[in-house]
Amino acid sequence: MNPLLIALLAVLLGPLFVGTWRTSLWGLSMQGLLMAWLALRLGPHPSTPSAWLTLIDLALLRGVAAPTALYQVLRARNVPARHDAIPPNLLSWTLALGSVLVAFNFAQVLVPAPAMEQSIVSVAATGLMLGFLVLATQSATFGQMIAVLRIENAIALFELSGEGHAQSVAIQVGQMLVVAASIVLYRWYLNTVDDPDAPLGDDASEVAL
Amino acid sequence: MSILVLVLMPAVLSACLLVRSVRVHATQLLVAVAGIVSVLAVSEAVHADSPRMLDGFVRVDATSRLFLAVVDPIFFGVCLYVWNRVATAPVLQAGMTRFVALALWFLSAVNAVLVANHLLVAWIALETTTLAAAPLIVRPRMRASRQASWRYLLFSSVGLGLALLGFMCIARGTQPDPAAPSFFVDGALPLAAAAPNLWHRLGLALLLLGLGTKLGLAPMYSWLPEAYDEAPPAVTALLAAVQFNCALVVLLRVLQCYRSNEPKLVAAELVAMGIVSMLVSTFSLIATRNLKRLLAYASINHAGVIAIGLGIGKTASYGLLLYVLSNAFIKAVLFLTAGKIKAHYRTKDTRRISGLIKDLPYSGVFLMVGSFALLGFPPFGSFFGEVLILSALVSSGRMLVFALFCLLITMSFVATGRTIFPMIWGEAEEQHSWPRQTFLSASPKIAFLVALVVLGLYVPPVVGDLIRQVAVSVEGR
């Protein structure tokens, strides 16, 4: 397997075993940056607008903007360092490692020929499975955001593996704008959903549209 | 040209809200834009299909024309309701700039979904409707509404992410073909024509799961009751009557593209999702005592009926579309009425509301007629739609599904009726004095009711032709 994909697998798994929110954000950031590197290695020299847009999406939006936006909110609120992406017990860890095995076996069924494509689909499927595992075990807003961003990164990695399936620039721009708007909204929700200082109203007397 | 106006005008005018002098008239701007867009959308219904525009990404066909003519007038009706609410409760004026800006973006994205001739463009527009609608669910001082709004965004993001993954799998499955992949609605390669493979099956399964999440189908439906309950009534009406139909149009497009040669593709999956959705919603209908949640569970029930209709295809298609159109008006009437009732009684608990027909005559009548339509009484379109779907179930020989359908629809009928009818005709427990409701304030709901009755008694030839054309495309001929 390509060393980049091994590194990507490591940043998918690592934050599950180190229980701090900084590690979760670091993992997200590394996923974006490694995927951008992989896109550079897989594709032709980035001379087309489409290739540049892919790099901006992966490196800037997913690798830098999303983790930074969430980091700023948590830092400003002085949130305690401890945050477990999955419950720290043997069952969760077994489920996580089991998910990796299932994902790799599933990828072998989908792409029987052992090649680069199979490896990427394996890691993308792993990212998806682990994203759903994190989502299933989280009740806090931040943890759920991390899970959704993991799932979206896995989908982006899967998209990288599709040879010859070049999207038009307009669609790529549209998808990037959706990701950017989602990040802005996630930041806003992280600020407001769990805010203990927010004023509380009475549903019965609330005047609504 | 008018098609581009439908999409661009609301988005451009929402940017005008940056100007202070425009912000003062935000509500009037919303009503004016919604009115103009509504007239343009209805006028599109009588035109022929438009040629491709913008490199083929935009094209108006029968599906676009039918849903534009329904969804945009409903949006306009909701805007009139909002205008009236702001006029009668000036405290609401404070948050109107934000509401109007997001609502205009929402309208723009809704129209983009309906006129998109490319599945990925439709996906982007549907995601945009979600991003615009999520903050609208939030009521500033209600923590529960913030949580509901986040859950809505969370489920939508995951669901639409799965749908995107589904598109990619389908693209992967058709890669060896030099003519593929194409996500253009009028140029997509039917999956049955290409060699069916694991990627196609996986792609369609993910698409169903993802779009099913937006429609509130089981298993990913749990966001819906919470979001519909916590959102302001006008926003709930937009989600239930407008956005629901956008998600449905994307699903119709997918089926239109990929099962034109194989009508039974994903039929069993759709029927299974429909039955499970009806099952969970029926038991929730029995348990709930919250008016808005009751209507939300009824929406899940209806989504189940629609999924079953889509699964049967063929002869059910006309009935299915009649049911879908009726449902859009039913939900708009009922959620707006629920808002009015809650504003007066200051509760959503159905046990504390009774004697509506005397207390709030307009709302009482709306709730009564809307409930009859909701429960599938004649002469409403929902009745004829259900009958046609049931007859298609019998003619296709799915007797077990037919039996389950009848059982669940009867149970939900009893559960809804025993909760709503005492609210309408029961003895008023407390004497309230209300400010008199004006005809103007009730006019949007009256218009929706008229549309409902018309769909049941006499479908105008233009609408009937459109429904038939869309039915043919859903049938995959």
- Digit-coded pLDDT (tens) for B48-79: 777 788 888 898 989 999 999 999 999 999 99
Burial B62-75 (b: 16+ CB within 10 A, else e): bbbbbbbbbbbbbb
Q: What is the DSSP letter of B240?
A: I
pLDDT band at A37, cuts 50/70/90? very high
> Mind listing the pLDDT tens digit for each residue in A181-192?
999 999 999 988
Kindly indicate the confidence band of residue A163, based on its pLDDT and cuts at 50, 70 and 90: low
In chain A, which residue's Cα lies nearest the Cα of B116? A171
Residues facing residue B25 across a β-bridge: none
Label residue B335 by pLDDT band (50, 70, 90). very high
Reported as a single tens digit per residue, the pLDDT across B340-361 is: 898 888 888 889 888 888 888 8
| pLDDT-based confidence at residue A199 (cuts at 50, 70, 90) | low
| Contacts (Cβ under 8 Å, ≥6 apart) of A66 | A28, A32, A149, A183, A186
Average pLDDT on B159-176 reads: 87
Distance, CA of B47 to chain centre = 24
Question: Residue B125: its pLDDT value, please?
Answer: 97
- Do A123 and A171 contact (CB within 8 A), yes or no? no
- Answer whether the bond into residue B379 is a cis peptide, omega within 30°: yes
Q: Is the CB of A82 inside 8 Å of chain B's CB atoms?
A: no
Q: Which residues contact B132 (CB under 8 A, 6 or more apart)?
A: B102, B103, B105, B106, B109
A174 touching B (Cβ < 8 Å): yes
Contact B182, B270 (CB under 8 A): no
How far is residue B146's CA from residue B383's CA, in Å, rounded to a whole number? 37
pLDDT score of B431? 61
Is B248 among the domain residues? no
Task: Inform me whether the C-beta atom of residue A113 falls under 8 Å from chain B C-beta atoms.
Answer: no
User: Cβ of A114: how many Cβ atoms within 10 Å?
Assistant: 10
Structure-token match 């009859």, residue found: B372
Q: What is the mean pLDDT of residues B203-230?
A: 93
Model confidence pLDDT, tens digit, residues A41-89: 887 677 788 889 999 999 999 999 999 999 999 999 888 889 888 999 9
Residue holding tokens 């799932």? A151
Domain that holds residue B448: 266-477
The one-letter code for the residue type at B176 is P
* pLDDT exceeds 70 at position A5: yes
CA distance B124 to B142: 30
- Residue B181 has what pLDDT? 56
In 10 A of CB B207, how many CB atoms? 26
- The Cα diameter of chain B in Å comes to 73
Give contacts of A206 with chain B, Cβ < 8 Å: 139, 141-142
CB contact A207 to B (< 8 Å): yes
* B68 lies in some domain: no
Minimum-distance CB partner of A165 among B57, B121, B171: B171
> What mean pLDDT is predicted for residues A19-36?
94
The DSSP result for A86-151, as a single string, is S-SSHHHHHHHHHHHHHHHHHHHHHS-S-SHHHHHHHHHHHHHHHHHHHHHH--SHHHHHHHHHHH
Are B155 and B213 contacting, i.e. CB atoms less than 8 angstroms apart?
yes
- ipTM over cut 0.90: yes
CA terminus-to-terminus distance, chain B: 30
Instruction: Supply B47's token pair.
Output: 């035109």
Contacts of B339 in chain A (CB under 8 A): 208-209
Residue of A nearest to B80 (CA): A209
Mutation choice for A interface testing from B108, B150, B151, B156 by most A CBs within 10 A: B150
The domain total for chain B is: 1
Does B440 fall in a domain? yes
Q: Locate A42 and state its tokens.
A: 């897989």
Q: Are the C-beta atoms of B231 and B145 separated by less than 8 Å? A: yes
To the nearest whole Å, the CA of A18 is away from the closest chain B CA by: 24
Burial class of residue B106 (count of CB atoms within 10 Å of its CB; 0-12, 13-18, 19+): buried
- A123-159 per-position pLDDT tens digit: 999 999 999 999 999 989 999 999 999 999 999 999 8
Kindly report, residue by residue over B178-207, the tens digit of the pLDDT: 555 578 887 765 655 555 678 888 999 999
Picking from A182, A201, A209, the nearest residue to B235 by CB comes out as A209
Q: Give the confidence band of B255 by pLDDT, cuts at 50, 70, 90.
A: confident
In a domain, B198, yes or no: no
Residue B232 has pLDDT above 80, yes or no: yes
Task: Say whether pLDDT at B244 is over 70.
Answer: yes
Q: Does the pLDDT at position B279 exceed 70? A: yes
Which phi-psi region, left, alpha or beta, contains residue B43 (left: φ > 0; alpha: ψ -120 to 50)? alpha
Position B17 scores a pLDDT of 87
> What pairs with residue B290 in β-bridges?
B349
Angstrom distance (rounded) from CA A59 to CA A32: 5
CA separation for the pair B130, B109 (Å, rounded): 9
> Is pLDDT at A206 greater than 90 in this prediction?
no
Nearest CA distance, A7 vs chain B (angstrom): 23
**Helix or strand holding residue A65 (H, E):** none
Q: Give yes or no for A144 touching B (CB within 8 A).
A: yes
Average pLDDT over residues B280-297: 95
Residue B318 is which amino acid?
A: Y
**B346/A185 touch (CB, cutoff 8 Å), yes or no:** no
- In this structure, is residue B441 part of a structural domain? yes
> Is the peptide bond between B219 and the residue preceding it cis, with omega within 30 degrees of 0?
yes
- Across the range B449-463, mean pLDDT stands at 89
Nearest to A85 by CA among A154, A20, A11: A20
pLDDT of A32 above 90: yes
- For residue B189, the model assigns a pLDDT of 59
pLDDT tens across B76-117, in order? 999 999 999 898 888 888 889 999 999 999 999 999 999 999
Cβ B139–A151 below 8 Å, yes or no?
Answer: no
- Residue A60 burial (CB < 10 Å; 0-12/13-18/19+)? middle
Cα–Cα distances (Å) from B240 to A8, A153, A179, B212, B359, in that order, read 41, 30, 25, 14, 27
**pLDDT score recorded for residue A116:** 86
Tokens of B239: 């989600």
Q: What does pLDDT average to over chain A?
A: 89
Task: Please check whether residue B420 lies inside any domain of the structure.
Answer: yes
The radius of gyration computed from the CA coordinates of chain B, to the nearest angstrom, equals: 21
Q: Which residues contact A114 (CB under 8 A, 6 or more apart)?
A: none
- Rounded to a whole number of angstroms, the distance from the CA of A185 to the nearest CA of chain B is 8
Residues A165-187 have a mean pLDDT of 90
State the DSSP string of B253-309: HHHHHHSSS-TTTTHHHHHHHHHHHHHHHHHHHHH--BHHHHHHHHHHHHHHHHHHH
Q: Please answer yes or no on whether A185 and B153 come within 8 Å at the CB atom.
A: yes
pLDDT higher than threshold 90 for residue B212: yes
Q: Give tens-digit pLDDT for B16-53.
A: 888 888 888 999 999 999 999 999 999 988 887 777 88
Per-residue pLDDT, averaged over B308-324, amounts to: 89
* Residue A42 to chain B, least CA–CA distance (Å): 17
Residues of A with Cβ-Cβ distance to B143 under 8 angstroms: 198, 200
Residue B11 has pLDDT above 60, yes or no: yes
> In angstroms, what CA-CA distances link B61 with A201, B3, B65, B138?
47, 11, 6, 35
Query: Under the phi-then-psi rule, with left for phi > 0, alpha for psi from -120 to 50, and beta for the rest, what region is B217?
Result: beta
Q: Could you give the percent of chain B with pLDDT greater than 70? A: 94
Q: What is the mean pLDDT of residues B213-225?
A: 93
pLDDT for the residue A207 = 72
Is A200 in Cβ contact with B135 (below 8 Å)? Answer: no
Q: Tell me the average pLDDT of chain B.
A: 89
Is residue B476's pLDDT more than 80? no
Give the separation between CA B327 and CA B248, rounded to whole angstroms.
12
**Residue B181: cis peptide before it, omega within 30 degrees of 0:** yes
